[in-house]
Amino acid sequence: MATEIEGSAVVVAETKQPHRLERKWSFWCDIQSKPKPGAAWGSSLRKIYTFDTVEEFWCLHDQTFQPSKLSPNADIHLFKEGIEPKWEDPVCTGGGKWSITINRKESLDLMWQETLMALIGEQFDEADEICGVVASVRKNQDKLALWTRTAANEAVQMSIGKKWKEIIDVTDKINYSFHDDSKSQRSVKGRYSI
Ligand code: MGP
C-alpha cells in the first residue's frame, strides 16, 4: 500500500495483490469421455490450466469452465495439481467418489460452482482426503462426482459426503462407490450412502 500527501489530503493507493490459494488446482477436460471404437478411455483427456489465485479462478470459471457450455459426453474436472483424474493415478487408486445425478443444467452449473468454491476455499475438514470434482455432461442426466482418496475409511467419507450435501444444498440420498469396484464391474453398487 502506497501513501502520498497531496496538499492536506492523504491519498492511499492500494497495490493490488492477487489473493493466493492454499494450494494449486488444475482444470481438466475430456470432450469425448466415451471413446470412439478402438480408442482407449482418456485419450482425449487434457489438463487445461493450473492456477493458484482467486482472480485466476474467477476469470477461468466465467470465461470457460462451466459445464453447461460443454457438449454431451464431455467431462470437466477440477483436481489438485499433481493428481490426474483417473483411477490409475497413485493418489486416486485406493479411492472412490460421492456421486449425484442432476436433471437441470442450471442446477449442474450452480452445484459445480459451489463445489469449486468449497474446494479452493478449503472448506472440507478432511481437505487432504479430497482429490477433485468431475462434472459429466450427458444427454439425459448430468452427473457430479467428488473424488476422495481413502475409500476404505468410512468415517472420513461419511463426513465428506455430509458436508458436500450441505454445500450443494441436496437432501436426497447420495452414494459412494469405490474405484476398485468400477474397475471390475460396469454397474457399480454404492458402498456407502448418506
Ligand atoms: P464413468 O464415466 O466413471 O461411469 O466410467 P459412468 O459415469 O457411470 O458412465 P458414463 O457412461 O455416463 O460415462 C465409464 C467408463 O469409462 C468405465 O466403465 C471405464 O470403462 C471408463 N473409465 C472411466 N474412468 C473414470 C476411468 C478411469 O479413471 N480409468 C480407466 N481406465 N477407465 C475409466
Is residue 27 within 8 Å of residue 60, measured between CB atoms? Answer: yes
Domain positions in the chain are 18-193
Point out the ligand 1 atom lying closest to the alpha carbon of residue 33: 13
CA nearest ligand 1 atom 32, residue = 41
**Cα torsion angle, 85, 88, 93, 95, sign:** positive
Among 31, 33, 143, 147, say which to mutate for ligand 1: greatest number of ligand atoms within 8 Å of CB.
Answer: 33
Collapsing DSSP to helix, strand or coil, 148 comes out as strand
CA of 18 to the centre of ligand 1 (A): 37
| Burial label, 101 (beta-carbon count in 10 A; 0-12, 13-18, 19+) | middle
Collapsing DSSP to helix, strand or coil, 40 comes out as coil
Point out the ligand 1 atom lying closest to the alpha carbon of residue 89: 28
CA nearest ligand 1 atom 20, residue = 41
| 193: β partners | 175
Point out the ligand 1 atom lying closest to the alpha carbon of residue 92: 28
Q: Which CATH architecture has domain 18-193?
A: 2-Layer Sandwich (3.30)
CA of 19 to the centre of ligand 1 (A): 35
| 143: β partners | 101, 136
Across the chain, which has 194 residues, the per-10-residue mean pLDDT values are 52 75 97 84 94 94 82 95 98 98 92 97 97 95 97 98 98 96 87 97
Is residue 129 within 8 Å of residue 150, measured between CB atoms? Answer: yes
Q: Which residue has the cell 478432511?
A: 126
Q: How many Cβ atoms sit within 10 Å of the Cβ of residue 11?
A: 10
Site residues for ligand 1, CB cut-off 6 Å: 33, 41-42, 86-88, 136, 138, 143, 182, 186
Point out the ligand 1 atom lying closest to the alpha carbon of residue 138: 12
- pLDDT score for 2: 46
- pLDDT score for 15: 67
- pLDDT score for 11: 56
CA nearest ligand 1 atom 2, residue = 33
